[in-house]
């Protein structure tokens, strides 16, 4: 009788051990199954520098990378912009048919139904990756670092905005990609129909010498070497004058925007100012129009 009980206990213990080992193997077999912060997907098509089609869980989705903006190549109402083809070709070479890891910020999709994601070439070690991991493995960041995209802060998805702005400044300082003024000048000479439009970054103009018909300007950070004789006061005054040409000025603290010439337009401090070319862009970014 005692032997039978002992055999039953041994069998039950063996079964429990097997179940524990099986659970451990399942948990370690795929590092993506235990954490929903990163989703593994396959890039099946590249539309342009920052827009993809991905296969995720057996379904196909259109995806817009967040935190960045590459020059236009396929916009129905705009000509191909400077460095747009280079950015598109770069993304095709880097991502086509590649396995990537998708990370969401706040929004799931935009108004067009596109997934909004950070695209990782390799999954980072945690949900709070280091700056080194971001620079090395996040494709959105690599676009900015290598001069293929602008850092573009778009509420409410701004988790890495400050870091992307630093990456952009480094790219500007080193004249990488779209910040190469010689290439820009050559492009404008051969593409007179494509008015240079460099979008604004967090209310900071990008370069005085590249105003377009909408009033957008580029960042004066790249003008430091050309304007070393300009005093700090004169420089700040020039930036304010350039920004005053923007049509829409928003307050990132109150999330309200004003049209140039309206009562509250000039009352927004530079610290809280965000600029847009069109009202639709401000609304899409989560801002509402001022009542007066």
* CB atoms inside a 10 Å sphere around CB 107: 16
Is 84:183 a contact under the CB 8 Å cutoff?
A: no
- For the whole prediction, is pTM greater than 0.75? no
Whether residue 29 is contained in a domain is answered as no
Whether residue 13 is contained in a domain is answered as no
Q: Are residues 96 and 141 in the same domain?
A: yes
Q: Is 233 helix (H, G, I), strand (E, B) or coil?
A: helix
**pLDDT tier for residue 139 given thresholds of 50, 70 and 90:** very high
Q: Are residues 224 and 281 in the same domain?
A: yes
Q: Are residues 173 and 266 in the same domain?
A: no
Which class for 166: exposed (0-12), middle (13-18), buried (19 or more C-beta within 10 A)? middle
pLDDT for the residue 140: 98
Q: Taking the alpha carbons of 93, 78, 70, 32 in that order, is the dihedral positive or negative?
A: negative
Whether residue 135 is contained in a domain is answered as yes
Q: Are residues 144 and 56 in the same domain?
A: yes
Average of per-residue pLDDT across 136-157: 95
Q: Are residues 64 and 160 in the same domain?
A: yes
Asked which of 14-23, 92-101, 139-148, 266-275 is least confident by mean pLDDT, the reply is 14-23
Q: Is 72 a catalytic residue?
A: yes
Asked which of 36-45, 48-57, 105-114, 230-239 is least confident by mean pLDDT, the reply is 230-239
29 vs 170, more confident: 170
Q: Are residues 142 and 99 in the same domain?
A: yes
Q: Is 117 a catalytic residue?
A: no
Whether residue 238 is contained in a domain is answered as yes
Q: Is 71 helix (H, G, I), strand (E, B) or coil?
A: coil
pLDDT for the residue 272: 81
Q: Are residues 160 and 203 in the same domain?
A: no
Q: Are residues 129 and 242 in the same domain?
A: no
4: pLDDT strictly greater than 90:
no
Asked which of 62-76, 105-119, 223-237, 277-291 is least confident by mean pLDDT, the reply is 223-237
Which residues fall within 8 angstroms of residue 143, CB to CB, at 6 or more apart? Answer: 49, 50, 65, 68, 70, 87, 90, 91, 149
| The domain boundary residue, chosen from 148, 177, 206 | 177
pLDDT in tens, 80-125: 888 999 999 999 999 999 999 999 999 999 999 999 999 999 999 9
Q: Point out the catalytic residue in the list 45, 114, 183, 260.
A: 114
CATH value at residue 114: 2.40.50.90
Q: Are residues 238 and 283 in the same domain?
A: yes
Whether residue 5 is contained in a domain is answered as no
pLDDT in tens, 229-276: 333 333 333 333 333 345 688 888 888 888 766 767 778 887 788 887
pLDDT for the residue 174: 95
In the block, which residue shows the tokens 């920052």? 50
Q: Are residues 207 and 278 in the same domain?
A: yes
Q: Is 64 a catalytic residue?
A: yes
Q: Are residues 242 and 165 in the same domain?
A: no
Whether residue 15 is contained in a domain is answered as no
Average of per-residue pLDDT across 139-157: 94
What's the mean pLDDT when you consider all of the chain? Answer: 76
Is 48:87 a contact under the CB 8 Å cutoff?
A: yes
| The domain boundary residue, chosen from 177, 211, 238 | 177
Whether residue 27 is contained in a domain is answered as no
Nearest 5°: phi and psi at 162?
-65, -40
Which class for 184: exposed (0-12), middle (13-18), buried (19 or more C-beta within 10 A)? buried
pLDDT for the residue 228: 34
Q: How many distinct structural domains can be found in the chain?
A: 2
Domain that holds residue 277: 198-289
Whether residue 260 is contained in a domain is answered as yes
List the structure tokens of 143: 């676009």
Q: Are residues 227 and 280 in the same domain?
A: yes
Q: How far is CA 81 from CA 165, 184, 191, in A?
A: 21, 10, 9
pLDDT for the residue 217: 33
pLDDT for the residue 105: 96
Average of per-residue pLDDT across 188-210: 52
30: pLDDT strictly greater than 50:
no
């Amino acid at each position: 009788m005692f032997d039978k009980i002992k055999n039953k206990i041994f069998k039950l213990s063996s079964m429990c051990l097997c179940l524990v080992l099986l659970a451990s193997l399942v948990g370690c077999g795929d590092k993506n199954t235990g954490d929903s912060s990163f989703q593994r997907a396959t890039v099946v098509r590249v539309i342009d520098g920052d827009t993809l089609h991905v296969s995720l869980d057996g379904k196909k989705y259109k995806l817009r990378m967040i935190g960045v903006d590459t020059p236009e190549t396929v916009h129905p109402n705009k000509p191909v912009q400077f460095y747009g083809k280079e950015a598109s070709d770069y993304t095709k070479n880097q991502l086509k048919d590649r396995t990537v890891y998708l990370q969401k910020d706040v929004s799931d999709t935009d108004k067009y139904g596109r997934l909004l994601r950070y695209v990782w070439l390799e999954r980072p070690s945690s949900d709070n990756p280091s700056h080194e991991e971001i620079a090395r493995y996040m494709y959105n960041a690599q676009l900015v670092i290598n001069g293929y995209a602008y850092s573009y802060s778009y509420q409410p998805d701004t988790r890495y905005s400050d870091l992307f702005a630093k990456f952009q400044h480094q790219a500007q300082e080193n004249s990488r990609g779209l910040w190469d003024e010689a290439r820009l000048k050559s492009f404008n000479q051969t593409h007179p129909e494509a008015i240079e439009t460099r979008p604004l970054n967090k209310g900071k103009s990008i370069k005085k010498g590249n105003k377009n018909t909408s009033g957008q300007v580029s960042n004066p950070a790249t003008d430091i070497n050309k304007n070393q004789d300009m005093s700090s006061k004169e420089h700040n005054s020039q930036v304010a004058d350039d920004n005053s040409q923007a049509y829409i000025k928003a307050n990132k603290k109150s999330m309200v925007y004003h049209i140039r010439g309206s009562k509250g337009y000039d009352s927004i401090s530079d610290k809280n100012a965000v600029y847009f070319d069109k009202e639709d862009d401000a609304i899409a970014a989560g801002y509402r129009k001022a009542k007066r």
